[in-house]
Each structure stands twice: as C-alpha cells, then as structure tokens.
Amino acid sequence: MRKAGVPVGMAEQVLAAYRRLGTEVPVAVRSPATAEDTAGTSFAGMHETHANVVGDRAVLERLVDCWASLYGERVISYRASQGITDEPAIAVVVQQLIDADRAGVMFTADPSTGDRTRIVIEGAFGLGEVVVGGQVEPDTYVLLKEGPRLLERRQWR
C-alpha cells in the first residue's frame, strides 16, 4: 500500500482542495472507518489521525498512513476478535486544523451502556487526539438529555 502511494488523479484532487484552504495551512488528516462504530464494535482511536500536517507532500504521506492503518496489528486483531471478515474500508478526511486549548469527544449515547437518554462528553487540554487515542485520562461529563441536566462529573487535574 505504501509503495503504491496515492493515484495521480486522486492526489491532484486532494492537493487542489488542500490549496484552496490557503498556503501552508495546517490540517488534520483523519481516518474514520466507514463502519467504525456500530452497535457491537468500536474502532475509535484505532486508525491513524495526524494533526498539524503542513505541505503537499506531508498531506499525501499522511493520507497513505491512514489507509495503511486499516492493516495495523491492533486493528487486525480487533477485527478478528469481533469476527469481522469483510474487507475493511476507510474514508480519510483532510480538514483545516483549529488549534485548540481544549478538545474532546461527545457521545449522543453512553458508550459503555448504550443508554440513549444520556450524553457523555470527554475532554482534555490540547487537541482531541489525546482523548480518542487514550493517551490521557479525560475529564468526563455525563448529562441527562432531558433538561439537559448534569448527572456526573469526573475531573482529572
């Protein structure tokens, strides 16, 4: 996959869109798998995400890294443990990076229980990849959707 690189026509389209953002603009190159989170599986944080990517060459290299992450040891092992035998697919997003002091993720259902009456927000200082990649213990807020009303708060300082 790495040797094949990005097909010429696709590379041209990706770089044309990147250049429309401006000159040497930092971007995030993210890889949400097309079936990443289903009722029974969660690939969150397993596929490559790159922040502060700058320049044509770097954008294309990170795009290939994202594709290759479909076949990383951890991802293959997880697919096998879940009995997933279909050929994996991945979509890669290149988006302008917004430098953040704090970032995180929000779940519209409690990811540990599936309770759809709750919202779970996890956040930390820095960019969001430290949260989704499990590199930090995030602050966690659990809210009841009705209201909304704060049910629980765990802050790590």
- pTM of this prediction? 0.70
In this structure, the answer to whether residues 83 and 10 fall within a common structural domain is yes
Are 51 and 118 in the same domain? no
Alpha-carbon dihedral 49, 51, 57, 63, rounded to 10 degrees: 20
The backbone region for 19, taken as left when phi is positive above 0, alpha when psi lies in -120 to 50, beta otherwise, is alpha
Count: domains in the chain: 2
Q: Is the peptide bond before 148 cis (omega within 30 degrees of 0)?
A: yes
**Domain of 139?**
100-157
Residues 94 and 110 in one domain: no
CATH of the domain at 147: 3.30.470.20
pLDDT tens for the 157 residues of the chain, in order: 778 889 999 999 999 999 999 888 999 998 765 555 555 555 556 677 888 899 999 999 999 998 888 887 877 787 788 787 777 778 888 999 887 888 888 889 998 888 999 999 999 888 777 776 677 889 999 999 999 999 999 987 6
